[in-house]
Amino acid sequence: MTRERQTGGQVRYWALILSVAAHSATLAVFTGVKLSNRIFSEPSERPAVTLQMIEQIVSVPTAKPMPRIEPIQSPPIPVKAEQPPLIADLETPEPVQTENAPDPIESDMSPPVETMVNEVEFFGRKSMVQRVCYVVDCSGSMYGSMYLVRDQLKQSILNLNSQQAFCVVFFMEGRKILTTGNGTLQPATFKAKSKAVHLIESVRPAGSTDAEHALQQAMKLKDDAGGRPEVIYFLTDGFDLDPDRSTQFVKQIERLRRSSAPGAVLHTIGFWPQPQDRQMLRSLAQNAGGEFIEIN
């Protein structure tokens, strides 16, 4: 009984093995057939390259580069040389007249049209006279004011006409005096004005104030005809005098004027004067029919 059971078990075991193998083989066959059909039935994504396509590509001619076009250069045009003018065609220039030619410097400084109005202006004070004298303080205390004095003095002299006469008297240290025109009233010509401007530019303040000697010389000036100055401009920044000497100074200048130039008018100009100096300058002007001008 036991043996029959063993034999029956072995038969069932092998039968199961054969059944599994048969089914596996059948499944493999069907799977292979289905895959092969799918491969042959689905078209390829990339088109196949045919022989005709290759022949067409080979038969296309290769593109050649375009030829380079060079610009055509025109031959240079010959320039005909100019013929020199004949000697007969040359014109002889007219000679330049240099006789009596005006000095270029004089023509630059002189006014284009000279007026014969005998007017003189100095620091705003005008006078209608023909003969004028400028007495200018050039002591050391005037150092900071000389730039303004120079400008006003040059402008006044350059505006004079040739019919007028002038002289500039600078007084400085001690009794030293510098004058234009060799101490005379000379005509206001271009040459005389140029020399006066040169002196005005070159003078330098120095020393103490001593105006009496300068005023005395100014009142004794004469022109070629013996005429005395008609107006005197006296400019200073003050005096180093006590009250008693100040009074004596005013009286002395008035005596000199009456004796030497009684017709001269004296205008006084004070630069930042002290009260005592202001009174002296005002008195000098009033005694001689002039005006006092104060510069502050």
What residue type is 215 in one-letter code? Answer: L
Q: Which two tokens stand for residue 33?
A: 């057939």
CA distance 294 to 282: 10
Q: What is the 3-state secondary structure (H, E, C) of 1-42?
A: CHHHHHHHHHHHHHHHHHHHHHHHHHHHHHHHHHHHHHHHHC
Residue 276: beta bridge partners?
A: none
| Ramachandran area for residue 25 (φ above 0: left; ψ -120 to 50: alpha; else beta) | alpha
The phi and psi torsions of 90 (rounded to 5 degrees) equal -75, 135
CA distance 163 to 158: 13
pLDDT at 138 (0 to 100) = 94
| pLDDT per position as a tens digit, 10-22 | 656 666 677 767 6
Do 192 and 138 contact (CB within 8 A), yes or no? no
Q: Of 229, 126, 123, which is closest to residue 183 (Cα–Cα)?
A: 229
Q: Which two tokens stand for residue 25?
A: 């083989």
| pLDDT per position as a tens digit, 187-198 | 999 999 999 999
Strands 165-171 and 186-187: antiparallel
Q: What's the CATH class of domain 116-295?
A: alpha beta
DSSP 263: T
Domain limits of the chain? 1-32, 116-295
Do 286 and 253 contact (CB within 8 A), yes or no? no
Q: Which two tokens stand for residue 236?
A: 């200073």
pLDDT at 190 (0 to 100) = 96
| pLDDT per position as a tens digit, 158-176 | 999 999 999 999 998 878 8
Do 137 and 171 contact (CB within 8 A), yes or no? yes
pTM: 0.62
Looking at 67-71, 113-117, 217-221, which range is the least confident one?
A: 67-71
Asked if the model's pLDDT at residue 93 lies above 50, the reply is no
Strands 231-236 and 165-171: unpaired
What residue type is 208 in one-letter code? Answer: S
Higher pLDDT pick, 94 / 142: 142
CA distance 227 to 157: 19
Helix/strand/coil percent split, the chain, to 5: 45, 15, 40
| pLDDT per position as a tens digit, 209-253 | 789 999 999 999 999 999 999 999 999 998 888 888 989 999 999
